[in-house]
Structure 1
Amino acid sequence: MIGLIHGTLLEKQPPEILIDAGGVGYEIQLPMTSFYQLPDVGQVATVYTHFVVREDAQLLFGFADKAERSLFRELIKVNGVGPKLALTILSGMSAAQFIQCVSHEDVSGLVRLPGVGKKTAERLLVEMRDRLKALSEAGAGAPTWVDAEPTGDSSPTVVANDSKEEALSALVALGYKPQQASKMLNGIYQQGMTSETLIREALRSLG
């Protein structure tokens, strides 16, 4: 199991990054809540990882801290929730917001996320209630999670020739339909906005 990658951040193409650790480049997919916390390209980054082995691929998923990784690992245990959907859930809302949805049995808050229908949302509420309680009692759960949503313009930026196209690609990779993603971006786009800002504002508009 690859549990942590520490090295130089070579590329940031949300939701994926490339890290050089010991001369090996690791491609890692992150939820946007963790992506926002990355340093600039060229700087050293530390990412907690979850390694998924399939018949057709070997995938690395990354997180800013162990708590978010723990939540991801619990999410993929839920029937019908795979790594991609878990990544989408943690991109559309922070760990704290997800916990709030579960504690308030907020089905509507979950079904706004792509790939989460009413049945999946109800299943998440039922199964994650006990899982979150167990994590909390183990000292790795809700009390240590804070809303990592950045404020202002202090978040790291992605420099790209066309930030809107990059943001569109990221939203599609997270499970949004191209037409829906375009509509989300058109509603908030302003000249000079970085791709990270566009993605963050687009996801926030769903809330």
Structure 2
Amino acid sequence: MIGRITGILIEKNPPYLLLDCNGIGYEINVPMSTFYNLPHTGDTVVLLTQLIVREDAHLLYGFLTRLEQQAFRELLKISGIGARIALAILSGMSVSDLAQTVTLQNTARLTRVPGIGQKIAERLLLELKGKLDSKTSTAALSADCASDILHALLSLGYSEKEALAAIKNVPSGMSISDGIKCALRALSKV
């Protein structure tokens, strides 16, 4: 299996890129989160990879971070999720956003990703629960507490983006009412 590849970036055509490794050109599929952080063509790049072998093709997927690679692998383990949908999910949201979505059990956020319907979103949330390592403080809150705070902020008229950003400021171990107050203080400073 090819686990990592280093080479000169020859071509960038989303979601594909062409990497020259000692005269051999590798076509690699990457999520948009990786694509936006690539260096200029002609520069050297190191990608963590995942090789997928099918009957009709050998496909190579590349990632700049270990978290993206691990999230991709976790997504592939879910029944009904292939590499194309996993790539779409990682292109539509960062790994920390995905972990936060799973923690909050937010199906609406997942259904905004092309190719993800209600049933697949529910399956994703169920099977990814506890499997994604989140670096956000929201993961430290219990899922029920964070979800209740989110719903309270949404019912007060805040957008989902504002509410999720405010929840990041809520320390772990707070009660729901204290968490709502803390989130509202964070929103009032904006």
Q: Does the alignment reach a TM-score above 0.5?
A: yes
Aligned equivalent of 2:134: 142
Aligned to 1:105: 105
Cα deviation for residue 143 of structure 1 reads 2.6
CA displacement 1:175-195 (0-9 Å, x = unmatched): xxxxxxxxxxxxxxxxxxxxx
Query: How many percent identity over aligned positions?
Result: 49
After superposition, residues 39-54 of structure 1 pair within 5 angstroms as 39-54=39-54
Whose RCO is larger (CA < 8 A, sep 6+)? 1
Letter in 2 for 1:18: L
**Residue 87 of structure 1, CA deviation:** 0.1
Q: Distance in 1 between matches of 2:78 and 2:30?
A: 19
| TM superposition shift of 1:4 | 0.7
> Aligned partners of 2:32 and 2:72: how far apart in 1?
13
Unaligned runs of 5+ in 1: 133-140, 145-207
Letter in 2 for 1:10: I
Distance in 1 (alpha carbons) for counterparts of 2:114 and 2:79:
17
Give a deviation string over 1:71-119, Cα, whole Å, max 9, x none.
1000010111000000000001111111111011100000011110100
1: CA distance between counterparts of 2:96 and 2:135? Answer: 9
CA–CA separation in structure 2 for the residues paired with 1:68 and 1:34: 9
Q: What RMSD, in angstroms, separates the aligned Cα atoms of the two structures?
A: 1.0
Distance in 1 separating the partners of 2:134 and 2:82: 22
Partner of 2:9: 9
Q: Distance in 1 between matches of 2:93 and 2:130?
A: 20
Max Rg structure: 2
- Counterparts of 1:1-207 in structure 2, within 5 Å, are 1-132=1-132, 141-143=133-135
